[in-house]
Chain A
Amino acid sequence: EAQVTQNPRYLITVTGKKLTVTCSQNMNHEYMSWYRQDPGLGLRQIYYSMNVEVTDKGDVPEGYKVSRKEKRNFPLILESPSPNQTSLYFCASSWGRFRTDTQYFGPGTRLTVL
């Protein structure tokens, strides 16, 4: 089954404790992306990647890191989480054919930073 998986689905942590949210896709997609979704602010892109070793900032990259060492994986790293990073996070992937792009979203990771 074609899918985007994220782990963990739920995470409660404390300020300053480094964490990684994993994202993996099995569709051989070139484009991968991380979003956060907050009430009233909608879905905002954090980072995106056009291909292996190619990443770029979205609208809200501060406090986050990403890496793309393999095509299928795109982990999101919070090196020193803060309460304002409490949010619902989505990973997405697509072929990157932008006029006709279809992004497939993972199930989401609900992160709470105390």
Chain B
Amino acid sequence: QKEVEQNSGPLSVPEGAIASLNCTYSDRGSQSFFWYRQYSGKSPELIMFIYSNGDKEDGRFTAQLNKASQYVSLLIRDSQPSDSATYLCAVITSGTYKYIFGTGTRLKVLA
């Protein structure tokens, strides 16, 4: 069974701090990696995708991919209370167009 694992949290950080969310995956052939944000009672929405090793920045968000170690992370700089949500890591498994999601990490940004 191909898996994506995340710490369920909650991860609590003070306002203005950097939040670091981590995700590991088991399928070494996975090629595309995604971070979705889901507010309570709402649908997931895409924050970022990454498919090359290294860092990718978009505003306050930075995704980091390390294929050798099979992990992908999301950094949120200058965290705001409005960032409080569940963050879902997802991969597209090798040889298919099937998505595997992690169970999500709940982030709480304390004002």
Contact = CB atoms under 8 A, between A and B. Distances in A.
Contacts of A33: 99
Contacts of B43: 90, 105-108
Contact of B97 (A40, A41, A43, A56): A56
B61 interface: no
A42 B32 contact: no
A50 B97 CA distance: 8
Contacts of A62: none
B49 interface: yes
Contacts of B96: 56
Q: How large is the interface on B (under 10, 10 to 19, 20 to 34, 35 or more residues)?
A: 20 to 34
A102 B46 contact: yes
A43 B32 CA distance: 17
Given A90-B43, A98-B92, A45 B99 contact: yes
Nearest to B34: A101
B103 A98 contact: no
B45 interface: yes
Contact of A98 (B8, B44, B88, B97): B97
Interface string A20-62: 0000000000010101000011111100101000001011000
Nearest to B92: A98
Interface string B82-99: 000000101010001111
B51 interface: yes
Contacts of B97: 31, 48, 50, 56, 96, 98
Interface string A70-111: 000000000000000000001000001011111101111000
B9 to A, nearest CB: 13
Given A98-B32, A99-B31, A105 B88 contact: no
A56 B98 contact: yes
Contacts of B101: 35, 42-45
Interface of B: 8, 31-32, 34, 43-46, 49, 51, 88, 90, 92, 96-104
7 contacts: A31-B97, A42-B102, A43-B44, A98-B31, A101-B92, A103-B46, A106-B43
